Amino acid sequence: MDKAIQTSWLSFIEEAQTNIFPIYQEHEEHFDGAGIHGRMHISRALVFAEVMGRLYLHCDQHLDVYAVLLAVAFHDSGRQGNGADLWEGASAGLCYKYLLQKSNEKYATFVSNLIDKSGASWDIHKRIMHDADVLEIMRPCCGHGGIDGFRQKMFRFAGDRDPLMNLFEDPSALRKQFIQQAWELIQITEEIKPQLVNSKQYLMDVLGILERNLSLCSLFSNVVA
């Protein structure tokens, strides 16, 4: 299974860089020059989602990690500005349209609906989608004050709001480690972000940075192996 998971991840990286990241590069060139919701945001959120997906796969073999990754990749694609997300529906629409070219209407609806944060009933797919985004926006530029101001209650993974928390050996320690190492990755890659403006393999470049800093982000080592 590990080999299949890794193959799927590598295939998704190519798909995202070729078909989805150009949307965010265009945003960076028009209204998001600082890349607040650009390719770096998406890259880090994808890393977080992939790692959470792999951890959950030990508990739920029916988890569709590819669906989660697609939703994460598209979740800011419809933006026309920064600040509050007024374009969630547009982002879901772009995801739906994209999937109709390669799948069926039922699957396109399922994946695109993961982007919508409304509704009381969230399955594991929507929780990962939400958590990857919440974790990534602890960045100081998002007004949350970095890790010290991070609203941890919003992050459900391995916490009291996670119905699967008891399936982890030490959920509290795992959760703490995930938050701390996510913060390390954010700091490291945020400093290097200006150097990647013209990158043609953005996500791979971010993974290369992660690989060179695994001493600080060991929990994420599988995504670069």
Question: Does 1 score more than 60 pLDDT?
Answer: no
Chain-centre distance of CA 191, in angstroms?
19
Domain parsing of the chain, residue ranges: 2-224
Q: What is the pLDDT of residues 199-218, one digit of tens each?
A: 999 999 999 999 999 999 99
Q: What is the mean pLDDT of the chain?
A: 93
Distance CA 11, CA 14 (A): 5
Mean predicted confidence (pLDDT) in 60-71: 90
57/111 Cα distance (integer angstroms): 18
Largest CA distance in the chain: 46
The confidence score (pLDDT) of residue 121 equals 74
pLDDT at 146: 86
- pTM equals 0.96
Q: Is 116 exposed, middle or buried (0-12, 13-18, 19+ CB in 10 A)?
A: middle
* Cβ atoms 59, 167 nearer than 8 A: yes
Integer CA distances (angstroms), 131 to 1, 11, 81, 194, in order: 24, 23, 22, 26
Which comes out higher in pLDDT, residue 122 or 107?
107
Label residue 142 by pLDDT band (50, 70, 90).
Answer: low
Locate 87 and state its tokens: 């374009």
Q: How far is CA 163 from the centre of its chain?
A: 20
Question: What is the pLDDT averaged over residues 7-13?
Answer: 95
Cα–Cα dist 8/68, whole Å: 13
